[in-house]
Each structure stands twice: as C-alpha cells, then as structure tokens.
Amino acid sequence: MTVKVLFSARAELWPEYRPLLSKGLLDAGLDFDLATEIPPEKVDYVVYAPNGGLSDFRPFGRLKAVLSLWAGVESITDNETLNVPLARMVDHGLTEGMTEWVVGHALRYHLGMDKHITSQDGTWIPEAPPLASQRRILILGLGALGESAARALAALNFKVMGWSRTQKNIPGIKSLSGTKDLKQALSQAEIVVLLLPETPATENILDTQSLALLPQGAKIINPGRGPLIDDDALLAALNSGQVGHATLDVFRTEPLPPDHPYWKHPNVTVTPHIASETRPVTAAQVICENIRRGERGEPFLHLVDRDLGY
Ligand code: NDP
C-alpha cells in the first residue's frame, strides 16, 4: 500500500527535503507518495513544522503520526485536534551545532575573552584565566542537547553539574534533580546554561528568587526558550551586578523587538535564535526511520509526552 506523507513546513525547505526524504523512504523499502499537498483524509504521516501553516488536524482521519522537524514542541503539545503520536526532532546535526555553540559561549565567559577583544587600550594586565577544572558550570536540562553540551564541557575539564527531571548517570557530570538540588547547584554555578523545554513547569525557572541564589557576577547562556527566564528579573539582576552577563538566543517574542532593553544592555549579547537548527540531511533520516517504524508496527522514536509537554 502507498504511504502518503505530507510535508508541512516552510515552502523554501521543500526543495532540500524532498530528495532526502524520497531517498530515505526508498531505502526503507516503502512505496510512498510525498508531497506538500495531499487531501487530508488520505494522509498517513505529517512531516511538521509549526510555521508550516497546519494547526487543525481534525480532517486527517487516517493520520498515524506527526513527525516534528523541530526539537521544541511547545506550540503543538496542547493542540486538542491532534490525537495521534507526536514525535519531536532529535537530530545528530542539530545536537552537534548546539554543543559547539554552548561550548563557544561558555569558553568566552570562562576565558574572559571580551576583556581583550573589546579593550586594546595599551593597558598590560598579565592575569591568566583559571583552568576549566576550577570553573563550575550548571546545565539546566540533560536531554539530547543538554547531555551532549555537558559531556563536551566535561571533556574540557569543567566542573559540570546537570539538572533534569529524572536523575542521570553520565560520567563526569554531577547529575541533580528536584528543587533542593536546583537551589544548591545555582548557589555554586558560575555559568548557567538553559537547555530545558518550554513547559508550564519550566517557565520562569530563572526568576528573582533563583537568580538571587547565584554567586555574584554569574553568567547566563540561554539557547533553550525565552519563557525560561523572567525578563524583568534578569534585567534587574544584570543592573545590580548579581548577574554579570547574559547571552540570549531565544526570546518570548521573536524576532526580539528593536526597542527591547536587551538590545542595548551593555551586559547582554543577543543572538537571533541561531544556536543550532535542524540539519536536513540527518533530520530526514530520523523522519524516515520513524515512518519505517510506523509501517512495521514498531514503536516510534522520540515521542512527546503530551502531559509533560516535551
Ligand atoms: P529533551 O526533551 O531531550 O531534554 C529536555 C531536558 O529537560 C531533559 O533532561 C528533561 O528531563 C529536562 N526537563 C524537562 N522538564 C523539566 C522539569 N520540569 N524539571 C527539570 N528538568 C526538566 O530536549 P532537547 O535537549 O532536545 O532540547 C531542549 C530544548 O532546546 C528544546 O525544547 C528547545 O526549546 C531548545 N532548542 C533550541 C534551539 C536553538 O537554536 N536555540 C534548537 C533546538 C532546540 P528528563 O531527562 O528527566 O526528561
């Protein structure tokens, strides 16, 4: 039987994904129809991105699964018209990119690079930075992205603490969970990296109270999602010096409005949601593997728990 796969993402992605998905489905031995337009009642799988324009799944009577091209699924988890399995994207290429971005920004802070890049005024202060083994970094979220970043930082000898909903056993990482652990970890963290999903339980995880626990001058790196941070609380902490600097890639409103105080703040670096992205070559393999599994009656990979919201 022909498997009907609807590609519902930004139109400009189609020329790149089309041959990759076609090859993957062929390699999986499937007879398929892959298109950007298929009558909804005939669709078996939707390859989905939130900006593809699809939000009402009611007409999709024989849908078997929705396969997200995005790792973050906060915009679809509470969609009541969706009653089939939802898989999120765990893509090797996306993970690699995020790890590089996090390590780069952590090293910027650790080595104090700005001091030398922005000020070449003839002052000679020969102070070498400490070793990574003397620097404590806390990663909030030890999932596909957080674990990879944590491992890379640990490989550089940083003292890495990781906090997640469930306890992990990852060599070289101090794994923590629960509110008490979080408070303790925050009180020691010189650099905090946010790689949590956006859910009701994680919103404003960095607020006035939690920011106050950090050692004075701590640095924040947020490639997770904007709502993980209470923006007013962060701005106040930056203004008081409680937080030394923040590198923010994600925001409650994107693009970040031109008049937002983050743009002008001397101790904030704004990056335009580029920490990483789904890479078509590797992502297409993940999508095709899930369609193959669906057709063989095997469990899907990377299923979202709609109750937990990630
Ligand atoms: P995962 O689902 O693999 O990992 C999420 C992690 O967060 C898990 O360790 C999970 O714990 C933990 N977590 C979730 N809820 C809680 C909670 N209430 N308390 C404590 N820990 C919690 O996601 P990924 O690693 O793939 O992605 C993380 C986020 O990164 C995405 O949701 C997305 O928002 C963002 N992202 C940003 C990109 C960018 O370019 N800026 C690109 C891609 C993703 P447990 O392991 O116990 O389940």
- DSSP labels for 130-174? PPGGG-EEEEE--SHHHHHHHHHHHHTT-EEEEE-SS----TTEE
Q: Write down the H helix ranges in the chain.
A: 14-27, 92-111, 113-118, 144-155, 179-188, 208-213, 231-240, 261-264, 280-296
- Tell me, using a 6 A CB cutoff, whether residue 165 lines ligand 1: yes
Same domain, 68 and 106: no
Cβ-defined contacts of 155-162 (< 8 Å, 24+): 156/103, 156/107, 156/132, 157/131, 157/132, 157/133, 158/106, 158/110, 158/132, 158/133, 159/133, 159/134, 159/135, 161/136, 161/137, 161/185, 161/188, 161/189, 162/138
- Tell me, using a 6 A CB cutoff, whether residue 227 lines ligand 1: no
Same domain, 49 and 181: no
Closest residue by CA, ligand 1 atom 29: 197
- Tell me, using a 6 A CB cutoff, whether residue 143 lines ligand 1: yes
Q: Which residues are catalytic?
A: 225, 273
Same domain, 287 and 184: no
Same domain, 134 and 171: yes
Closest residue by CA, ligand 1 atom 5: 143
Same domain, 158 and 262: yes
Note whether residue 306 is domain-resident.
Answer: no
Same domain, 17 and 110: no
> What pLDDT tens digit does each residue of the chain (310 aa) get?
899 999 999 999 999 999 999 999 999 999 999 999 999 999 999 999 999 999 999 999 999 999 999 999 999 999 999 999 999 999 999 999 999 999 999 999 999 999 988 878 898 989 999 999 999 999 999 999 999 999 999 999 999 999 999 999 999 999 999 999 999 999 999 999 999 999 999 999 999 999 999 999 999 999 999 999 999 999 999 999 999 999 999 999 999 999 999 999 999 999 999 999 999 999 999 999 999 999 999 999 999 999 999 9
> Coil, helix or strand for 196?
coil
Report CA(169)–ligand 1 centroid distance (Å). 17
Strand order through the sheet with 3-8? 32-35, 3-8, 45-48, 65-68, 86-87
pLDDT at 93: 97
Same domain, 263 and 128: yes
Note whether residue 32 is domain-resident.
Answer: yes
Note whether residue 307 is domain-resident.
Answer: no
What region does 237 belong to: left with phi over 0, alpha with psi -120 to 50, or beta? alpha
- Beta strands 45-48 and 3-8 are parallel
Same domain, 154 and 192: yes
- Tell me, using a 6 A CB cutoff, whether residue 76 lines ligand 1: no
* For the CA of 310, the nearest atom of ligand 1: 2
Q: Give the residue, out of 138, 196, 225, 307, with the most ligand 1 atoms within 8 A of its beta carbon, to mutate for a pocket test.
A: 196
pLDDT at 125: 86
CATH number at residue 116: 3.40.50.720
Reported pTM = 0.97
Write down the residue that tokens 């001058």 correspond to.
217
Domain tally, the chain: 2
> Coil, helix or strand for 187?
helix
Report CA(141)–ligand 1 centroid distance (Å). 5
Q: Which domain holds residue 247?
A: 92-270
Measure Cα distances from 299 to 48, 126, 137, 244 in Å: 19, 58, 36, 46
Same domain, 9 and 142: no
